[in-house]
C-alpha cells in the first residue's frame, strides 16, 4: 500500500451523520444569462471526448491535435499532435483581437496607496522582455526555473515568460524556509531562481533574498538568481545575482511566439504538504489550459467584458496558478491581485478592495471565511459589496455554517456560493456546483463537472449507493490531470493508482446523499474508527462550528481502550465566547444532538490556535500526536510551529468525563 493511503483497513464505509436541509436555487437573472446551462451535463455524458474537444477549441492552437486522448493507465496524453503557446493564449491573442487596453490585473500592494494597473498590452510587453531576458540568461526549452516571489506583478510575468519559451517553472510559496526551497530546487534540478528582495507582509517589508542566498548555497546547479527590487531594502549581492531592472528592462518588447507540443511540460508544483512530504506534481500544456480555462468560464460564470474577478489565494499554490494566472488570462478576464494579509492595516482590507475595484466574483478559502466570522459581522457590513455576484470556496470542506455566513454577510444573500473540490494533482476544478444551474446545499460540492467522471466507492471498489460514504475516486482521465510526480513514476503509480484498480484515488473521503449529491468528508487518513463506525472529521467539525460559541474546530481519533478510537476535539472559541467550566459538556451535548451519540467527542480542548499548513489547512496528524501523548511529528510544513507547544500545554486540563 502506498505511504499516503490509510494504514488501517476500514470495516465499513464512511458514516453519513449530518442532515442538512437548506437549499439555495440559482438567481433567476444569473441562470438566464449563464455561460453554461444544464445541457452541458448531457452533452458531456453523450460524448465526453467531444465535450473536451469543444473546450479545447476555445483556445488558439498552432496546429490542431490529431488524437484527443491516449490512455495507457496510469499515463494519459491529451490533444496529441497539437501545438500551442500558453503565453500567446493568455496574452497575445487578446491584444490581437483589439482588447489590448483591457485591464488584465489590478494589482494592490499591501502598503496603502501602492497599486498598479496592467492592461493586456502592458502584459504583452512585459512578458516579451522577460522571455528575452530568460533566453539571454541561458534558459531554454525544458529547463527548470524556480520562482520564489511575493505577490507582485512580476510573478505572473515570470511564469508567462517561462511558458512562452517552454521552460518549466516551479513556483515555491514565498513563506517557505531555505531548506524547503533548496529541496525543491534540487528535486527539479533548476538552473535559475527568480526572486525579489522581499515583499510586504503585515505592515512591514519581509525579506526573501537572504532565504534564497541560503538555499542557493546548497544548489550548485543554479547559474543565476534574477532579483526584482520590490521593497528597496539592502540585500547582499552574490556573483550569481542579476537585477530584474538591469536585465529585463533593457530587452526588446518583441518576442516571437514559438509553438509547443500539447504534452510539453508547463510546470512542476509541490503539494501543500498536509499529509507529509510534498510531491512534485507535473502539469503539461494543452489539456491543462483547456480545463482551467473552461472551468473558470463555467464555474465562475465569468463575463470578461463586465466582471472583475478576485481570487485571494497565493500564486504559490495551485489555486493561484490555475485561477489567478492561467484560467483568467486565457479567458481575457480582469482580475485583482493583492499582495498582503487580510488584516493589514485593518480587518476590513478585503472588503475595502472589493469596494474599490467593484469586484463581482470572489474566490477564497474556508480558513479565511472562518477567520472573518470570528472577527465579526460588523466589519464587512461597513463596505459596499453590492457588485459581488458569485462566491467561490476551495481548499478544505466548507462547514455549512461558514457557507451560510459567507453567502449572507459577503454575498448579501444574493450571490451563489460554489464549493469547488480539486487538488494540485487534478490541476483544475473537478466537483462543483454551476452557479446558474445548481440548487446548492451548504457544505456540498454537489456534482462532478461535465466531462469529469467521479465516484464514491467502498473498500472493495464498488460504488456506494445514495446515502452511503466511502472513498472519492475519478474513473476516467481528464485533460488537466497530473502527468506524474517529477522524477518518480513509481510514487505516482503507488500513491494514486494502486489503491483501486484503474481508478484515480484522491485520498479524500466523500458521501453521496439521497439525491446523489457529493459531500467531501476530509482526508481518508484522518477518518476515525469509533466502535466499528468510520466517522469523518468534517462532519464532527461542522457540528461543532454550528454551535454559536465555536469559531473553528479540528477533530482527531485517538486510541481508546474501549471504543478502538475516541474523538478528541480541539476548538477555538468565538471572540465573544467565554471559556466557562461547562463548555466541554455543552459542546459534547451539541454534537450528540446534531449527529448522534456515536459522534460525541471524548474530550474537548479549547485552544488558542490550530496547526495549519502555510496554505491555511488544518494539519490533523499533529493533533493526533498530541491526543495520543506522542512526541510531535514533522512540523516543517506548518505555518507556525510554536502553535504546537501552545496546544500541548492545554492537554492536562482536558475534560473527558460526562
Ligand atoms: P498534500 O497532498 O501534500 O498532503 P494537500 O492535499 O493539502 O497536500 P492540495 O493539493 O493543495 O495539497 O490540496 C488538495 C486537498 O484539499 C484535497 O485533496 C482536499 O483534501 C482538500 N480540498 C480542496 N478543496 C476542497 C473542497 N472544496 N472541499 C473539501 N476538500 C477540499
Ligand atoms: Mg493532497
**Of 198, 224, 258, which residue constitutes the final position of a domain?**
258
Q: Is the CB of 617 under 6 A from ligand 1?
A: yes
Which residue is closest in CA terms to ligand 1's atom 16?
Answer: 395
- Cα of 424 to ligand 1 centre, how many Å? 8
Strands (DSSP E) along 162-264, which ranges?
168-171, 192-196, 198-201, 204-207, 224-228, 241-243, 260-261
Point out the ligand 1 atom lying closest to the alpha carbon of residue 278. Answer: 3
The answer to whether residue 579 is domain-embedded is yes
- Cα of 274 to ligand 2 centre, how many Å? 7
Indicate the SS3 state at residue 16. coil
Backbone phi and psi for residue 391, each to the nearest 5 degrees, phi listed first: -120, 140
Spatial contact of 567 and 533, defined as CB atoms under 8 Å apart: no
The answer to whether residue 562 is domain-embedded is yes
CB atoms within 10 A of CB 57: 11
Indicate the SS3 state at residue 300. coil
What the block records as the C-alpha cell of 408 is 449572507
What is the reported pTM? 0.95
Spatial contact of 59 and 89, defined as CB atoms under 8 Å apart: yes
pLDDT at position 658? 40
| pLDDT of 6 strictly over 60 | no
Tens-place pLDDT, residues 593-622? 999 999 999 999 999 899 998 888 999 999
CB atoms within 10 A of CB 346: 9
- Cα of 466 to ligand 2 centre, how many Å? 26
| pLDDT of 335 strictly over 90 | yes
DSSP 413: T
Tens-place pLDDT, residues 626-647? 999 888 887 777 888 788 888 8
pLDDT at position 12? 61
CB within 5 A of ion ligand 2: which residues?
271
Tens-place pLDDT, residues 231-290? 999 999 999 999 999 999 999 999 999 999 999 999 999 997 777 778 999 999 999 999
DSSP 35: S
Q: Is the CB of 423 under 6 A from ligand 1?
A: yes
| pLDDT of 650 strictly over 80 | no
| pLDDT of 5 strictly over 50 | no
The answer to whether residue 129 is domain-embedded is yes
574-587: buried (b, 16+ CB within 10 Å) or exposed (e) per residue? eeebeeeeebbeeb
Q: Is the CB of 523 under 6 A from ligand 1?
A: yes
Backbone phi and psi for residue 404, each to the nearest 5 degrees, phi listed first: -70, -35
pLDDT at position 648? 79
What the block records as the C-alpha cell of 171 is 513556483
Q: Which of 365, 352, 294, 368 is nearest to 328 (CA)?
A: 294
Q: How far apart are CA 390 and CA 300, in angstroms?
A: 7
Strand partners, 553: 571
Angle (CA) 645-646-647 rounded to 5° is 90
pLDDT at position 11? 45
Q: Give the number of residues written for the chain.
A: 658
Q: Is the CB of 421 under 6 A from ligand 1?
A: yes
Which residue is closest in CA terms to ligand 1's atom 26?
Answer: 421
Q: Is the CB of 5 under 6 A from ligand 1?
A: no
Q: How far apart are CA 490 and CA 75, in angstroms?
A: 12
Domains: count for the chain: 2
Q: Is the Cα torsion angle 73, 79, 85, 91 positive or negative in sign?
A: negative
Indicate the SS3 state at residue 544. helix
Could you tell me what percent of the chain has a pLDDT over 90? Answer: 88
Which residue is closest in CA terms to ligand 1's atom 18?
Answer: 423
Point out the ligand 1 atom lying closest to the alpha carbon of residue 279. Answer: 3
H or E segment and range at residue 589: helix 583-595
* Ramachandran class of 632: left when φ > 0, alpha when ψ lies in -120 to 50, beta otherwise: beta
Residue 619 sits in a domain of what CATH number? 3.30.300.30
The answer to whether residue 284 is domain-embedded is no
Q: Which domain holds residue 169?
A: 115-258
Proximal ligand: closest to the CA of 506: 1
Proximal ligand: closest to the CA of 272: 1
Indicate the SS3 state at residue 161. helix
Q: Is the CB of 4 under 6 A from ligand 1?
A: no
- Cα of 617 to ligand 1 centre, how many Å? 8
Look up cell 503557446; give the residue: 85
Q: Is the CB of 520 under 6 A from ligand 1?
A: yes
The answer to whether residue 281 is domain-embedded is no
**Of 221, 237, 258, which residue constitutes the final position of a domain?**
258
pLDDT at position 634? 78
Strands (DSSP E) along 230-312, which ranges?
241-243, 260-261, 265-270, 280-284, 308-311
The answer to whether residue 163 is domain-embedded is yes
Tens-place pLDDT, residues 493-535? 999 999 999 999 999 999 999 999 999 999 999 999 999 999 9
- Cα of 275 to ligand 2 centre, how many Å? 7
Helices 120-136 and 154-165 pack at an angle, to 10 degrees, of 60
Point out the ligand 1 atom lying closest to the alpha carbon of residue 319. Answer: 11
By mean pLDDT, which of 70-84, 274-288, 299-313, 400-414 is the weakest?
A: 274-288
Spatial contact of 215 and 188, defined as CB atoms under 8 Å apart: no
The answer to whether residue 178 is domain-embedded is yes
Tens-place pLDDT, residues 200-210? 999 999 999 99
CB atoms within 10 A of CB 272: 21
Look up cell 454550528; give the residue: 546
pLDDT band at 651 (very low <50, low <70, confident <90, very high): low
Within 8 A by CB and 6+ apart from 371, the residues are 342
What average pLDDT does the structure give for the chain?
A: 94
H or E segment and range at residue 573: strand 564-573
- Cα of 521 to ligand 2 centre, how many Å? 14
**Of 258, 280, 305, which residue constitutes the final position of a domain?**
258
| pLDDT of 10 strictly over 90 | no
Q: How far apart are CA 487 and CA 82, in angstroms?
A: 25
Look up cell 487578446; give the residue: 94
Residue 139 sits in a domain of what CATH number? 3.40.50.980
Q: Is 362 exposed, middle or buried (0-12, 13-18, 19+ CB in 10 A)?
A: buried
The answer to whether residue 574 is domain-embedded is yes
HEC-encoded secondary structure of 202-217: CCEEEECHHHHHHHHC
User: Average of pLDDT values for 193-215?
Assistant: 97
pLDDT at position 174? 94
Q: Is the CB of 552 under 6 A from ligand 1?
A: no
Q: How far apart are CA 338 and CA 363, in angstroms?
A: 13
Pocket test of ligand 1: the residue of 449, 492, 519, 520 to mutate, having most ligand atoms within 8 Å of its CB, is 520
Q: Is the CB of 394 under 6 A from ligand 1?
A: yes
Amino acid at each position: 500500500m502506498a505511504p499516503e493511503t490509510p494504514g488501517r483497513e476500514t470495516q465499513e464505509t464512511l458514516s453519513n451523520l449530518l442532515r442538512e436541509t437548506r437549499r439555495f436555487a440559482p438567481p433567476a437573472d444569473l441562470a438566464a444569462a449563464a455561460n453554461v446551462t444544464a445541457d452541458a451535463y448531457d452533452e458531456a455524458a453523450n460524448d465526453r471526448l467531444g465535450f473536451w474537444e469543444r473546450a479545447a477549441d476555445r483556445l488558439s492552437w498552432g496546429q490542431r491535435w490529431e488524437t484527443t486522448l491516449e490512455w495507457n493507465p496510469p499515463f494519459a496524453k491529451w490533444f496529441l499532435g497539437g501545438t500551442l503557446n500558453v503565453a500567446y493564449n493568455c496574452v497575445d491573442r487578446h491584444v490581437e483581437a483589439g482588447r489590448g487596453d483591457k485591464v488584465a490585473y489590478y494589482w494592490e500592494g499591501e502598503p496603502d496607496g501602492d497599486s498598479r494597473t496592467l492592461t493586456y498590452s502592458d502584459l504583452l510587453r512585459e512578458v516579451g522582455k522577460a522571455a528575452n531576458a530568460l533566453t539571454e540568461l541561458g534558459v531554454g526549452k525544458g529547463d527548470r526555473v524556480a520562482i520564489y516571489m511575493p505577490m507582485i506583478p512580476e510573478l505572473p510575468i515570470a511564469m508567462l515568460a517561462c511558458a512562452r519559451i517552454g521552460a518549466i517553472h516551479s513556483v515555491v510559496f514565498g513563506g517557505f524556509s531555505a531548506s524547503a526551497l533548496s529541496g525543491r530546487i534540487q528535486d527539479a534540478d533548476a538552473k535559475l531562481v527568480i526572486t525579489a528582495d522581499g515583499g510586504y507582509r503585515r505592515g512591514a517589508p519581509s525579506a526573501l533574498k537572504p532565504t534564497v542566498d541560503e538555499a542557493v548555497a546548497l544548489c550548485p546547479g543554479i547559474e543565476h538568481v534574477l532579483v526584482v527590487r520590490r521593497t528597496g531594502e539592502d540585500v547582499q549581492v552574490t556573483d550569481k545575482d542579476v537585477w530584474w531592472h538591469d536585465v529585463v528592462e533593457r530587452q526588446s518588447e518583441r518576442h516571437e511566439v514559438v509553438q509547443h507540443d500539447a504534452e510539453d511540460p508547463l510546470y512542476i508544483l509541490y503539494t501543500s504538504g498536509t499529509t507529509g512530504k510534498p510531491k512534485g506534481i507535473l502539469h503539461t500544456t494543452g489539456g491543462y489550459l483547456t480545463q482551467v480555462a473552461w472551468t473558470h468560464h463555467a464555474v465562475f460564470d465569468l463575463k470578461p467584458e463586465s466582471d472583475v474577478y478576485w481570487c485571494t489565494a497565493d500564486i504559490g499554490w495551485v489555486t493561484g496558478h490555475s485561477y489567478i494566472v492561467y484560467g483568467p488570462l486565457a479567458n481575457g478576464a480582469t482580475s485583482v491581485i493583492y499582495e498582503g494579509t487580510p488584516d493589514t492595516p485593518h480587518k476590513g482590507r478585503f472588503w475595502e478592495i472589493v469596494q474599490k475595484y467593484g469586484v463581482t466574483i470572489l474566490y477564497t478559502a474556508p480558513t479565511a471565511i472562518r477567520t472573518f466570522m470570528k472577527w465579526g459581522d460588523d466589519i464587512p457590513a461597513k463596505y459596499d459589496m453590492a457588485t459581488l455576484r458569485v462566491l467561490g470556496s476551495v481548499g478544505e470542506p466548507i462547514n455549512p455554517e461558514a457557507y451560510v455566513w459567507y453567502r449572507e454577510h459577503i454575498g448579501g444573500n444574493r450571490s451563489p456560493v460554489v464549493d469547488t473540490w480539486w487538488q494540485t494533482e487534478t490541476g483544475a476544478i473537478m466537483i462543483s456546483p454551476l452557479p446558474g444551474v445548481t440548487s446548492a446545499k451548504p457544505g456540498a460540492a454537489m456534482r462532478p463537472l461535465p466531462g469529469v467522471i467521479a465516484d464514491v466507492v467502498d473498500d472493495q471498489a464498488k460504488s456506494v449507493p445514495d446515502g452511503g460514504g466511502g472513498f472519492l475516486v475519478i474513473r476516467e482521465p481528464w485533460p488537466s490531470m497530473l502527468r506524474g510526480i517529477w522524477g518518480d513514476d513509481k510514487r505516482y503509480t503507488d500513491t494514486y493508482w494502486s489503491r483501486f484498480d484503474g481508478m484515480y484515488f484522491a485520498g479524500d473521503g466523500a458521501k453521496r446523499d439521497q439525491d446523489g449529491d457529493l459531500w467531501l468528508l476530509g482526508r481518508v487518513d484522518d477518518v476515525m474508527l469509533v466502535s466499528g463506525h468510520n466517522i469523518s472529521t468534517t462532519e464532527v467539525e461542522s457540528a461543532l462550528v454550528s454551535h454559536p460559541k465555536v469559531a473553528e474546530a479540528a477533530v482527531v481519533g485517538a486510541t481508546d481502550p474501549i471504543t478502538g478510537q475516541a474523538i478528541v476535539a480541539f476548538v477555538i472559541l468565538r471572540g465573544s465566547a467565554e471559556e466557562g467550566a461547562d463548555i466541554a459538556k455543552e459542546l459534547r451535548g451539541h454534537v450528540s444532538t446534531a449527529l448522534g451519540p456515536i459522534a460525541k467527542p471524548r474530550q474537548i480542548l479549547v485552544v488558542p490556535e490550530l496547526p495549519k499548513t502555510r496554505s491555511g489547512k488544518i494539519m490533523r496528524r499533529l493533533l493526533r500526536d498530541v491526543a495520543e501523548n506522542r512526541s510531535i511529528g514533522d512540523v516543517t510544513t506548518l505555518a507556525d510551529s510554536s502553535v504546537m507547544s501552545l496546544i500541548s500545554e492545554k492537554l492536562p486540563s482536558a475534560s473527558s468525563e460526562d
